[in-house]
Amino acid sequence: MSADPAERARLLAEAAPVLWDEMPTLPLYRQQRTLLMSTKMYAVSRNPTRWGAGWNMDRWALAR
């Protein structure tokens, strides 16, 4: 486990093939995630989990 979003995404990418090989069922759909932001926004990043784009909202900053 890691608190670093990039490390968590890397670990998830590493685990995904194993999970797909071992999965006893087939998912019927995959929820799409879209993230748009202004070029004035900083520290906005994709969330590797299902909890949505605002998962690290406490770190977001807006340039003046």
Going by C-beta distance under 8 Å and a sequence separation of 6 or more, which residues neighbour residue 23? none
For residue 23, pLDDT over 80 is answered with no
Q: Read off the pTM.
A: 0.40
How many whole angstroms separate alpha carbon 24 and alpha carbon 5?
A: 28
Q: In this predicted structure, what is the pLDDT of residue 44?
A: 82
Q: In this predicted structure, what is the pLDDT of residue 51?
A: 74
* CA end-to-end distance (rounded Å), the chain: 35
Q: How confident is the model at residue 19 (pLDDT cuts 50, 70, 90)?
A: confident
For residue 52, pLDDT over 80 is answered with no
pLDDT digits (tens, 9 = 90+) for 25-41: 776 776 666 677 788 88
Count of domains forming the chain: 1
For residue 36, give both structure tokens.
Answer: 């748009």
Which range marks the domain in which residue 17 is found?
5-62
